[in-house]
Amino acid sequence: MKLEIVQAGNPVLRQRARSLNVAEIRSREIQKLIQSMRKCMHGAPGVGLAAPQLGLALQLAVIEDREEYHKEIPEALLRERERRPVPFQVIINPELEEVGEEKAEFFEGCLSVAGFTALVPRARSVRVTCLDEHGKQRVIEAFGWHARILQHEVDHLNGGLYIDRMRSRSFTTLENLAEFWKGKPVMEVKKALAAGTD
């Protein structure tokens, strides 16, 4: 199955996806789709991919933050982001609940908004109730970067993109992120960007 990631402006990214029932989840078609989505996510490469990003309005997303993705990231940044490897997960028909009041803000990108990134405030901890790839109910409790990935993918399933939540003044190309902001603490970036608002 050849999958192509659709870009912002495609209407499928702006509609709420439809739920899947257990029989559909266990069907050969959806099982094949899950494997194809996993390959597509790895090939991108990304840490999450939702069915709407492939033009399919289904409440289905895959997540995996592989250890190899962390090799190029400084240890201090991994600690600041609370980023650890996340094993492969399938979330279907998810319900997301923020846990506590704490927020975290970091640069976030999206395979459907290719070439750009922005600071996005998110809940630091979440609880997601969903079905897995076998149609079994699961509860995922996550914090830090794992919680961010889950929130990003659940937004996709509800017709949302990170640009709806971003600090608009921080919106930048990936090239400019590398040139001007790479390795700088988020507080320093926010202060520099706020300076132009007086």
Position 74 pLDDT exceeds 90: no
The structural domains of the chain, ordered by start, are: 11-197 (3.90.45.10)
Report CA Rg, the chain: 17
The single residue of 64, 108, 133, 153 carrying the catalytic annotation is 153
153 labelled catalytic = yes
Position 2 pLDDT exceeds 80: no
Position 4 pLDDT exceeds 60: yes
Cβ atoms of 57 and 15 closer than 8 Å:
yes
Position 188 pLDDT exceeds 80: yes
Among 130, 127, 133, 107, CA closest to 30: 133
- Comparing 23-32, 117-126, 178-187, which segment has the lowest mean pLDDT? 178-187
